[in-house]
Structure formats: structure tokens, C-alpha cells
Amino acid sequence: MLAAPDEPSMTALLAEVFSTSGPLAAAVPGYRPRQQQLELAESIAAAMAGNRVLVAEAGTGTGKTYAYLVPALLSGGKVIVSTGTKNLQDQLFGRDIPTIRRALGLPVKVALLKGRANYLCHHHLARSLADGRFLTREDAAWAQRIARFARTTRSGDKAECVDVPENATVWPMVTSTRDNCLGQECPQHKECPQHKECFVLAARREALAADLVVVNHHLFFADVMLRDEGTAELLPACNTVIFDEAHQLPEVASLFFGESVSTAQLLELARDAQSEGLAAARDCLDLPRLCSRLEKDVRDLRLTLPLEPARCSLPQLTARPGFADALATVIAAVEALAGLLETQAQRGEGLDHCWRRASELLQRLQAWQSGSNEDFVRWAETYTHALQLNATPLAIAGIMQKQMSGHPRAWIFTSATLAVQNDFGHYCSEMGLVDAASARWESPFDYPRQALLYAPRNLPDPNSADYAEAVVGAAWPVLRASGGRAFFLCTSLRAMRRVHELLADRLARDRLELPLLLQGEQGKNELLERFRRLGNAILIGSQSFWEGVDVRGEALSLVVIDKLPFAPPDDPVLSARIERMRSEGRNAFLEYQLPRVVINVKQGAGRLIRDETDRGVLMICDPRLIAKTYGKRIWRSLPPMQRTRELADAVAFFSAAAESAGR
């Protein structure tokens, strides 16, 4: 068993752990030492020992997961590891951490902490079963199964309730939100002989007692940084925070450092207040009346905006007939409900809690309506049945700095895509990381031999009407040469559907039988599984396939990107940020828009080469890559592939691959 080392011996220990004769080599099949991995681990260990901030880019194949987990497990301090998705969280907790812990013989206590919506809530389950207001018969049947599960489960994690699908509509009725959790007033809050302990609080207590806690970015920003009940002590107690997939943080931080209020929250308040009234204040006849009025006013507000999902700027909202009046009516309805709930609050914890929720929602609605904070941009997002009013910070740097100040600790930001060429300036300034050290480790893959970047000639302006036709025309001979085995990544859903139609026509016309898969026709994981199994498919996708997708081997040998992924300039948050930067005399294009495109293209390109034996072509169709001076910054930020503008080279790449594979 390895003991937690003193700082000077850490370097030697890491060299031993990552060596050919070390414990990892003995425990992990196919393990090979990589210089980049060792150096990254050493830098992370040094930053941890010195309570410093490190921003580290590690190319695909560096082995960055082990490079941060080994020092984290050896450090002897408390560490939070935050990653991009629940899937990655499960991979770390279920596979990588147990492997290293076993290999190193470390008795480190590890906890997995998910967002509260993942845990069954005793209070809401009991309340829903008692008032029986389920939307469908199926929901009612599922609720009975969940009640049985509640009697036997130890964790209350809904992922363990295999009898009920994870996306079943009953879950929001038997889990809690930060809004509707009763907190201290809940009978389940404290362990006592009559009541089962609250699952959310139990999971948070375990996380507090653990040496290493695995969370995801949403949970980190929503609960840990903003200190929800039961997680408030987590950050102050920890010595190191490690963010993997750290390129996602500006987006996530903007979301959680902002304020928002949704029609779903208001409808849920009306529903809960009505149900608490039935349980504890049946004689208060005004309560159901005010709840119904709120429900109606909220629905009327949603109807003032178009039905299609969209992101609307404040000028668009205020120009909409009826919007401002409908909002004022909703605010008056919440005010009336809050006033009535105050008079009933002492009749039960549930009513008291609804009163507090109503007051908080009222305050958020009024703040949104008045828009007194000029550092936030107000906008709204519409969904098919809902509307969310948002106030998003124009800059997150100052808020991040405030959150990171106080108790000294190490902060590690790592990802395969953080830098623009060798420059981390845009990331550090956006995130407010003023004194951060930064470093890059190249991928160990042999890119000049394994990959080719192909930028076709003669493509029209990406805004022209027939651009999708031109892209499919240019990509078709390459798709034929590769025999499918391709991702076709589009920058919009509209382009994605058009490309799908055009490719289906081409396949039919040329009587080629290559399977065509389209994002959305199945769940992402099922679609990827089919893609891998088929071995000659073309998968057409947009945003959700640009990152976090790992297809090794020959099934993926060609990645086609239709356009450089610039965010739409009329996006309400983007345009307000651009405006603010311009007013400060800064160049928003170079400082903000271009770096985001570079990171996205690097992510898209990163799908192609996943290990030493992968080979493939990256085809970027957008003519701006070559025609514009900024294009150079994009392709120079990509791994060092061979480059060509000739179709014949791209086609020949696949014939050479087929020959060397003996096909």
C-alpha cells in the first residue's frame, strides 16, 4: 500500500506509479507509460501542493483522467472532481477510480454526488400518493412501483429503480427541486425512528465525509458553489477542485450565476399550494381560487409569444403585443397568492414553505421586470409549453473570482480543448483566472501519419441558399471513398435535416446501401451503438455529436463539418456581450467569438482520431477557413494533420488505408 507522500517525494512517487514496472502497468491491461501523462500529473500535483490555479490542455490520448486522479488520490486532502456529464461521472466513479484505488492500494473514501432531482423525495412521494393527482394512469402505476422501491432502497437514486424508466413523467412528482424541498421543516430532514432519512441529505452527508467527491459541472455550480442546503460545507472543506471538460465552464457558469424564473416553477407552486391547502387548510376557499387564477395567468403569458422554441431578446419581448401586460398580471397573481399563503403559513410546514417560495418567485419576477442591474442581460427562452425569463451576467470573471477567493485551495482546469494555438488568454480572462499557470501537452498520436485535413475548393458563401447542396456535392465522392464510416456534423438542425434529405437522394440515385442515421431518431447512446455496430454508416448530427463522443476504430474514418460553428449573432446573450465589449473598446470578434469557434472546431475534429491505430480524414467545407485571415488561427489550432485542398488526396487517403489493411 502506498502512503500519502510529502511534497518532495511526490515526483518520485508519480514516476514510479506511471512507470512500465509500476502498479498501474500491473493492474491496467494494455497500459503504456506516456511522458505527457507523467508531466501533466506532476504539474497537477505541484499546483495542488502550492494551492495554485492551473489551466492545462492535454490532447486526446494523453491519459489526463489518470493524470489528475492519481495525484488527487495520493494527496491526502479533500478533493472535488467535477466533470461534464452524468455519464462521465459514472465512468469515473464506477471504473477509473476503483481501478486506481485498487492498483495503488489506497484506502481513500470516495462519494458520487448527483443533483437532487436524481433522488427520491419521501415528502413528495407521500404527498403525491395521498392526493392522487397523477396526469395519467401510467404515472399512478409507476408511483406505486416507486413507493415499493422507496421501502427497500438505501440510496434512493432513481437510476437504481429499474422498474420505472428514467424519463418517466412521474419522476418530477416524487423528487424534489430546490424550490419545493421543505428543508429544515421537513420531517425527513433529521434521522429519527419514525421517519426514513431524506435521501438527498444522506447523499450530501456521505459527500462531506468522503476524501474524493465526484460531481458534475451543473451540480457544482448550482449547489456547491452557490451553497445549497447540505452542500454549503463541501467547498470550504476541500483542498482542491479539479474540473475536467473545463472548456464547458464559461457556459455553465453563465447559466448558474444568472437569475431565472420559469412558468413551470409558477405552475408547480400553484399545484403544490393547492395540494398543501387540501391537506392542511380545506376551509380556506380562496386558496384554490388564487391557485387556479395563477395557473390561467401563467398560461396566458406563454401564449403572448410564438409557439416554436426560441431565444428572444428584451426588445423582441417588449415589442410583442400583450407581453408586458400579461407579465404584470402574473406578478399580481403571485403577489395575491403570497399574501394569502402568509395568513395560512402557520397551519403546516407545507403551507409555510409555499409562502416562502411564492415570496421568492415574486421577488425574482419583479427584479426581472425592473431590470435594474445593468451587468445582466434580460432575455427569455420559449419551449413548446413553457417560458423561462432569464437575467444572464454579461461577464462571469468577477463572479468567479469572488467565488474562488477566501480559503486557499488548488483549482485545476483541464480539457483537450482550451487554447487557441498556444494561447490561453481568452479562457483565463473570461473565467477571471488572473494568476493562473497554463500549459499544453500535445497528443501522443502521430497526426501527420494518421490524419488528413481536407478543405475543398470552390464552395460558395456559407450564407448562400444552395450551400447545403454544395456541401453534399463536395462531400459525396469522399463519402464514397470512405465507404460511409462518417460523421456529418452540421451547425444547425435545419442544415442537418437538409443534408439528410440530400444524402438519402444521392444514395438512392447511386444505388448505394450505406445506412444513414440521423440525430434525434433514437437516443444518443442507442444511435452511437448502432453506428459502431453497422461499421459503414453515415451519422448526421448537430450540436450534441460535436463533443463527448468516442468511436474508436474504423467505424469512424471521416468527419465532415459543414460550417465554422459561429454562434448566431442575434442570440440575445451573445449580442449583449458583444455590445458590452465594443463599448469597452475591445474587439469582441477576436476576443470572444473566434476563440469559441476554435474550441468547437477542435472538439468536432477530436471525434476522428481516438487511439494510435485510428486513421481518418477531417473535411471542413466552410471556405472561410482558407479565404479569411482568421481561418489560419483555426486550422493552426488543430492537431498537426497533413493538409490538402485536393479531392484526389482525400480519396487516395482511403485507398492507401484499404491497401495497408489488406482490403
Residues that bind ligand SF4 (CB under 6 A): 121-124, 176, 181-183, 186, 188-189, 198, 200-201
- Closest by alpha carbon to 83, among 282, 221, 231, 230? 221
**Cβ nearer to ligand SF4, comparing 202 with 287:** 202
Take residue 528 and report the three cell numbers written for it. Answer: 452511437
Which three cell numbers mark 332? 399580481
The answer to whether the CB of 405 falls within 8 A of the CB of 423 is no
Find the shortest distance in angstroms from Cβ 194 to ligand SF4: 13
Give the strands of the sheet with 240-243, arranged side by side: 110-112, 212-216, 79-83, 240-243, 410-415, 53-58, 437-441
Q: Which of 451, 454, 498, 501 is nearest to 621 (CA)?
A: 454
Residue whose entry in the numeric block shows the C-alpha cell 423528487: 175
The length of the chain is 663
Q: How far is the CB of 181 from ligand SF4 (least distance, A)?
A: 3
Angle, in degrees to the nearest 10, between helices 7-17 and 64-74? 140
Query: What are 212's three cell numbers?
Result: 474524493
Tell the smallest beta-carbon distance from residue 119 to ligand SF4 (Å): 7
Write down the least CB distance from residue 233 to ligand SF4, Å: 17
Q: How far is CA 164 from CA 53, 85, 141, in A?
A: 43, 22, 10
- In whole angstroms, how close is the CB of 182 to ligand SF4 at the nearest point? 4
Task: For residues 527 and 300, give the distance between their C-alpha atoms in angstroms, rounded to a whole number.
Answer: 38
Cα angle 516, 485, 244 (rounded to 5 degrees) comes to 105
Q: How far is the CB of 133 from ligand SF4 (least distance, A)?
A: 18
CB atoms within 10 A of CB 18: 24
Name the minimum Å distance from CB 231 to ligand SF4: 13
By beta-carbon proximity to ligand SF4, the closer residue of 16 and 185 is: 185
Nearer to ligand SF4, 150 or 410 (CB): 150
CB of 536 to ligand SF4, least distance (A): 49
Of 129 and 567, CB closest to ligand SF4: 129
In whole angstroms, how close is the CB of 205 to ligand SF4 at the nearest point? 12
CB-nearer residue toward ligand SF4: 157 or 591: 157
Closest approach, Cβ 348 to ligand SF4, in A, equals 13
**Residue 122 Cβ vs ligand SF4, minimum distance, rounded to whole Å:** 4
- Residue 76 vs 183, nearer CB to ligand SF4: 183
Inter-axis angle of helices 263-280 and 122-131, to 10 degrees? 70
Residue 220 to residue 252: CA distance in whole angstroms:
10
| Residue closer to ligand SF4, measured from CB, 122 or 596 | 122
Of 200 and 294, CB closest to ligand SF4: 200
Distance CA 81, CA 101 (A): 15
At position 24, the amino acid (one-letter code) is: L
* Shortest separation between residue 354's beta carbon and ligand SF4, angstroms: 12
Give 384-389 contacts, CB < 8 A, sequence gap 24+: 384/307, 384/309, 385/302, 386/262, 386/263, 386/264, 386/302, 387/262, 387/263, 387/301, 387/302, 387/305, 388/260, 388/261, 388/262, 388/263, 388/264, 389/260, 389/261, 389/262, 389/365
In the complex with ligand SF4, the residue whose CB is nearer, 122 or 610, is 122
Q: Based on CB atoms, which residue is closest to ligand SF4, 191 or 446?
A: 191
Beta carbon nearer to ligand SF4, 230 or 541: 230
Neighbour count for residue 622 (Cβ, 10 Å): 26
CB 277 within 8 A of CB 347: no
Cell 416553477, residue?
265
Give whichever of 88 and 201 is closer to ligand SF4, judged by the CB atom. 201
**In the complex, minimum distance from the CB of residue 262 to ligand SF4, in angstroms, rounded to a whole number:** 20
Smaller CB distance to ligand SF4: residue 198 or 436? Answer: 198
Cα–Cα distance for residue pair 254/613, rounded to 1 Å: 39
Transcribe 477-542 into DSSP letters.
HHHHHHTS-EEEE-SSHHHHHHHHHHHHHHHHHTT----EEETTSS-HHHHHHHHHHHSS-EEEE-
